[in-house]
Amino acid sequence: MQEPNSAWAALAMPRYLVSSWPWRSYAYLLSSVPIGLLTIVVLIAGVAVSAVLSPIVIGVLLLTAFPLFGVVIGIVERQRARLVLPTGIRSPHAAMPAGMNRRERLKFRRREQASLRALGYGVLLGTFVWFFSAATAGLSAVILGITLLAPLIATDDTMGMGPWVLDTTGEGFLFLVTFGPCFYVVSSYLIGVVAAAQASLAKALLGPREDELRRNVAELRRSRLDLVDAFETERARIERHLHDGVQQRLVGLTMTLGLAELDLPEGESKRLVVKAHGEAEAALADLREAVRGIHPRVLVDLGLEAAVREVADRSPLPVAVQMALPNRLPPPIEAAAYFFVSEALGNVAKHANAKSCHVQAWINRDRLVVTVTDDGTGGADPANGTGLTGLVTRLDALGGTLDLSSPPGGPTRLRMESPCRLDD
């Protein structure tokens, strides 16, 4: 049987009375008494010290530290709430930006709204919640205890129960078996409701709010985008390094060899220099090819359409390109679309037995859509294109998607979609 994930769900299940939940509720309510008392003592002491010290600045400073006490209350109470909320309450605090020292960290937490809310919860806990918990759970526990002990007490003493007086063991037992179960049922549900209410209060004040959840999601998305962006920057850096460093040297080398060819008389040494020249040129061509796969220059300089046309031109089969893009898109999006087309055309040439291929790109309601369609035999397996798997990750981070439709017999159509902006 599945464990309920909250006190309310536990109350609704038929075996509530024989489960651990009534006892958990007692534990939760009764444990709020010492913590509530401690909280209120610390708060009052804090206020008092601040008041006494307020003539000197330190008293005011102490007041500003109160939200930090809220943070501590939040940590403790979120843990305690696990008694009746097995899934726990998620922390509402934002992830701390990297590279802060301790002072900045404290300041960051102090300024969070969640800290103030937790402090407010602390005040409620210290004034009202612990008292109400003690009154309900305490009283109920005492009555339950007395009822259980009734046979023992009645043996030695007399017990006044309203109109009845119990003064023998048998009367005590009778009381236990008649009144006990009724009281257990009523009190367990009552206590369950109070505990559930308290847990709900804790969750409402100590848990993340809608906007804080949204912020966390946004933060995650941003950090993934940052990662994609970092890759892009790194690729650009490598490309520049290869172009401006290695390639320049190789060009210099071919120039020197070219000059040497002019001076050398026909013979073995000239033959070798010509050969070296040819090899240096082959290295240059290889390097150009490698750089194109890393970070194509045309993409940066002239944009997606020019770069896609270039890839299409290099493809061994005829590729028709139709693109309707009004303006340049952010670099990571252009790069994702470019590598999508490049990878897709590569796959078509390798696997599809196609005679021609069609690349289309357009903007549909703020989203970039690119499709690559071939007239091949179809039946492409999405698991086969390892290059495409990497692209899916990349598109995912941008908030985009990749679809493959390849019925047996064709045609095969790869389609990618991505937002046109990075911030939504």
Partner 1 sequence: MLLREGLASILDRAGHEVRDAVGDADTLLAVVRKDPPDVVITDVRMPPGHSDEGLRAAAAIRAELPSIGILVLSQYVADAYLSSLLETTTGGIGYLLKDRVGHVTEFLASLDRVAEGGTVVDPEVVRQLLARRRDDGPLAALTPRELEVLALMAEGRVNASIAEQLVVSEAAVRKHVGNIFAKLHLEDGLDRRVSAVLTYLRRQA
- Per-position x/- string for 25-54, each x denoting binding to partner 1 as judged by CB under 8 A, each - no binding: ------------------------------
Q: Select 111 or 249, whichever has its Cβ closest to partner 1.
A: 249
Identify the residue among 98, 262, 324, 383 touching partner 1 (CB under 8 A). Answer: 262
Identify the residue among 100, 152, 251, 272 touching partner 1 (CB under 8 A). Answer: 251
- Contact status: 318 vs partner 1 (CB under 8 A): yes
With b for 16 or more beta-carbon neighbours within 10 A and e for fewer, the 227-263 pattern comes to: ebbeebeebbeebeebeeeebeebeebbeebeeeeee
- Contact status: 256 vs partner 1 (CB under 8 A): yes
Residue 370 and residue 363: Cα distance in Å, rounded? 9
DSSP 243: I
- Contact status: 266 vs partner 1 (CB under 8 A): no
Cβ-contact 358, 415 below 8 angstroms: no
Count the residues of the shown chain that bind partner 1, applying the rule CB under 8 A.
Answer: 36
Identify the residue among 277, 295, 358, 413 touching partner 1 (CB under 8 A). Answer: 277
Q: Select 37 or 264, whichever has its Cβ closest to partner 1.
A: 264
Cα dihedral 324/326/327/332 (nearest 10): -40
DSSP 408: T
Q: What is the smallest separation between the CB atom of 282 and partner 1, expressed in angstroms?
A: 10
User: Which region among 5-13, 106-114, 285-293, 408-416 touches partner 1 (by CB under 8 A)?
Assistant: 285-293
Q: Select 49 or 302, whichever has its Cβ closest to partner 1.
A: 302
Cβ-contact 273, 262 below 8 angstroms: no
Cβ-contact 25, 7 below 8 angstroms: yes
Identify the residue among 284, 323, 369, 420 touching partner 1 (CB under 8 A). Answer: 284
How far apart, in Å, are the Cα atoms of 302 and each of 169, 306, 308?
A: 98, 6, 10
Q: Which residues contact 291 (CB under 8 A, 6 or more apart)?
A: 239, 242, 243, 247, 297
CA-based angle 400:414:402, to the nearest 5? Answer: 20
First CA to last CA distance, the chain: 42
User: Which region among 68-76, 310-318, 341-349, 365-373 touches partner 1 (by CB under 8 A)?
Assistant: 310-318
Q: What is the smallest separation between the CB atom of 338 and partner 1, expressed in angstroms?
A: 13
- Contact status: 313 vs partner 1 (CB under 8 A): yes
Contacts to partner 1 by CB under 8 A: 240, 243-244, 247-249, 251-252, 254-259, 261-262, 277, 280-281, 284-285, 288, 291-292, 297-298, 300-302, 306-307, 309-310, 313-314, 318
